[in-house]
Structure 1
Amino acid sequence: MSLGFNLRAKQSQVFRLGQVVSVLQMTSGELDEHLAEAARDNPMFILRRRPMAGTSATDASEMATVAEAGSLYEHVARALAGLIAEGGLMERIITAFMEELEPSGWLGRAPEEIAKTLGISPELVEAALRVVQKRVEPAGLFARNLEDCLRLQLEDKGPVSDDMRRVLAALSTLEVGGIHGLVEATGLDEERVRHCLGQIRRLDPKPGSAFATDPTLAREPDVRITPRGDGWDIEYLSALHREIEIVPLPRHGQTADAREALARARALKQALDVRQSALRQVVAVLVDRQGAFFRSGASALKPMTMSEIAQKTGFHLSTVSRVLSGLLIEGPNGITVGRSLFAGTASAQTLFSKPQVQARIRALLAKEDPARPLSDRRMTALLQAEGITVSRRVVSNYRQEIGISPAAKRRLRA
């Protein structure tokens, strides 16, 4: 009798632990589906949703439909879920890749820099990157640069010719020297170069752009923060929109099935409590670290990694990553996607975040002489003189992302 009781107790403990791990790993959308399924299948578990204040039934329905669409991060997280589940070194590398994934779909840092941060060999990171690039769609995601992005898309369609590889390698000369510069750089005749360019123009240089407008921005934020002296009041809004009720067993007619259903309902409730606790701890550290950003804007954003949050909270890196997936924080400056607070420049040595660098680029261009607009190379030199170590390619990418044309086009408009 005692042995049987102990066995059931251990089985119950293992089940509860499994529920906690499962719920922690779910995105908000996956959790909603899981809860709805539990409420449908378990008579002891009741899920009620409170209507959002000031929101009509039609508005709520439309927002729920929009929220089902995934962001770029959620898209690649689903595609790579099998690899991440392997744990160990592969999970660490893929998580690092996902942290560096920019809205364009490219990696924000070179693989060798990521390898240095992780403390592992560049060969391992390169090997993992090749696996990741082949696993995700559309082709071109997690590219190192433009050449890599286009090459991946061409390889997805079939073998890449030697002519095409030469054109891709010299593609940067097109902006400066035009078609004739590309002909000279590749050693190919003009007809062959034009044929390759015709194929390239049918490709997507920024495959992540289809996900750039995060649909989660159409819904209400999960967290609202308001300044209070030197600190913050943090309000967790998502918890107000969901009520969980566990139905107690009647004194009579307690069947084995009913007891099992009650145990499962309680285990799920416990898992939800753990998830909410993880959310509160992660957000508390995040707001404390980036308080200046929420008060002053992008120029005050501090460099930060998910590993730092994991270390401070004691949660596993994958748990922190999941908590942040789709998280929306409303502060004095508007609504912020939680993961955007981790954006950084492409230099592992830099102490400046990506939004800070973009803010400096805007400031430099606002003061430029219209008759002599600043080239990307000149801006790179000016930034480096300020101690912001970034490459010309990064400056060019950031300039494009903030919607500013190259120097040649700005000069023409002037």
Structure 2
Amino acid sequence: MRVSTRTRVGQAQVFRMAHVVNVIRMSQEELDTHLLRIAENNPFLVVRRRRHAWNRTGAAQDAPESGPVDAPNSLYDHVLRELSGLIAQGGAMERLIVGLVEELEPTGWISRPVPEIAAALGFGCEVVESALRLVQRRVSPAGLFARDLADCLRLQLEDQDLLDQEMERVLVHLAVLETGDADALAKAAALDPATVSEHLARLRRLDPKPGSRFTNDPTLLRDPDVRVEPDGDGWMPVFKPGFETTVDVLPKGSGERYPELRQAVGEARALKQALELRQNALKHIVRVMIEVQGDFFRNGPAALKPLTQATIAERTGFHLSTVSRVLNGLLIEGPNGIVPARMLCARRSSRCAQRGVSKPTVLARLRELLLAESPSSPLSDQCLSDRLGAEGVTVSRRVVANYRQELGFAPVAQRRLRA
């Protein structure tokens, strides 16, 4: 009898622990779907969806369905789903894949060179290179996790079986187009102009930023999960869970007559406890982000400080994958409007200095320099890099070129011709 009692207690503990682990590691969309599915089959779990303020974005009839969403609705959600099999392996593989996902820019490219990623993750360059190639082959559309424009186009050509030696030479010298034309590219690649023009026409049919197709995230239409309000000189988060969950009480005496009802109540209570623990994890993670990014809520994106998910994991004690899952689909509302929580995880832009500023800060300053330049004497990427360096922001010419393109400014040669 004692053995039987201990076995039942052990099973209950394992069941509750599995609920806690699964619920904490779910993204917000996965959690919503999970709650609705469990509530359909468990009469003692009552789930009420929080009312949405559709009047903020348009008429109610324009709002999407509020039921579970099976299709991915953001770049991070998409790649996490496609790479879930690799992440599930745990250990070093999980650290590698989650680390690479962290480096993903909205364009679909990775934000830093492989050696820097390897140093941050504590792996060798060859290991990270192998993981990157594996990820590039696993995800769709082709071109995600590319190192740069040429790599993005190369991946798409390989996927379509259109990469030959001539096209490879064009891609190697593609940067020539920043300061020259097709004839200059033909000369650098040692190809005739007609062949280069044909290859360029093929390249123009490709998607240089495959991640941008995921930018229209329908989750931005719903109410935020966290609202940030002023609190003296700081900020106070107000948490608003997506669902209100309650557990009904089992009628007196029916537990002995109907063991399955007693089991259903136990499962409902375990799930409610897991949700409370997940909310506690969410509070710890968000408070760390608000503590670091307080200036963002006062002064906007230009005031974002470098903050990685690895730093959040270290300061909260949660696993890196748990932090990534909690932030996936999470919306935060502040004085600057509603933003995805991942936006507050700003990468360091400096490639040399240990205390580099965040990418949004560099983008804001770069935009100011480009808007203030003389139309008859526009600034080259190297000149922009030098000016930023004089201000204490160490950014390479290549990074400046990528950021300039992201801001929508043409290369210096084209800007000079338009003057």
TM over 0.5: yes
1:368 to 373, 387, 392: 373
| Unpaired stretches in structure 1, ≥5 consecutive residues | none
Distance change >3 Å, CA 320–CA 40, structure 1 → 2: same
Q: CA deviation at 1:58?
A: 3.2
3-state SS in 2 of match to 1:131: helix
1:32 is the counterpart of 2:37: no
Sequence identity (%) = 52
- What's the CA shift string for 1:353-373, capped at 9, x where partnerless? 110100110121232112101
Equivalent-residue separation in structure 2 for 1:114 and 1:212 (angstroms): 24
Query: Cα 1:17–1:295, aligned 2, differ >3 Å: closer, same or farther?
Result: same
Instruction: List aligned pairs for 1:150-169, cutoff 5 A.
Output: 150-158=153-161, 160-169=163-172
Q: Against the structure 1 CA distance between its residues 346 and 229, is the aligned structure 2 distance closer, same or farther, given a 3 Å change threshold?
A: closer
- Contact 2:45 / 2:247 at 8 angstroms: preserved in 1? yes
> What is the letter of the counterpart of residue 64 of structure 1?
S
Give the aligned partner of residue 62 of structure 1: 64
Mapped contact 1:368–1:374 kept (Cα < 8 A): yes
2: distance between equivalents of 1:346 and 1:134? 27
Shift of 1:352: 0.9
Q: Does residue 405 of structure 2 align to residue 400 of structure 1?
A: yes
Contact 2:54 2:222 in 1 (8 A): no
For 1:132-182, what per-residue CA distance to the aligned partner results, in whole angstroms no more than 9, with x for missing partners? 000000000000011111111011111621111111101111232211111
Q: Is 1:22 the counterpart of 2:41 in the alignment?
A: no
1:352 to 357, 363, 380: 357
Q: Does 1:124 align with 2:136?
A: no
Task: Tell me if 1:80 matches 2:56.
Answer: no
Of 189, 194, 199 in structure 2, the residue corresponding to residue 196 of structure 1 is 199
5+ residue gaps in structure 2? none
Cα root mean square deviation, aligned: 2.0
State the alpha-carbon separation in 2 of the partners of residues 357 and 282 from structure 1: 26
Q: CA deviation at 1:212?
A: 2.2
TM-score normalised according to structure 2 size: 0.93
Partners in 2 of 1:372 and 1:57 — Cα distance? 49
Within 2, Cα distance between the matches of 1:159 and 1:60?
A: 42
Map 1:9-408; keep pairs closer than 5 Å. 9-52=9-52, 58=60, 61-62=63-64, 64=66, 69-158=72-161, 160-237=163-240, 239=241, 241-254=242-255, 255-350=258-353, 351-408=356-413
Q: Which moved more, 1:137-146 or 1:188-197?
A: 188-197
> Structure 1 runs of 4+ off > 4 angstroms?
53-57, 65-69, 345-348
Matched residue SS, 1:381: helix
- The 1:66–1:276 alpha-carbon spacing in structure 2 relative to 1, beyond 3 Å, is closer
* CA distance in 2 between partners of 1:285 and 1:78 (Å): 27
For residue 381 of structure 1, report the CA deviation from its aligned partner: 1.4
Aligned pair count reads 412
Q: How far apart are residue 120 of structure 1 and its match?
A: 1.6
Alpha carbons 2:227, 2:333 under 8 Å: kept: yes
Q: 1:348 to 1:23 in 2, by over 3 A?
A: farther
What letter corresponds to residue 301 of structure 2 in structure 1?
A
Residues 297 and 57 (structure 1 numbering): CA distance in 2 closer, same or farther, change over 3 Å? closer
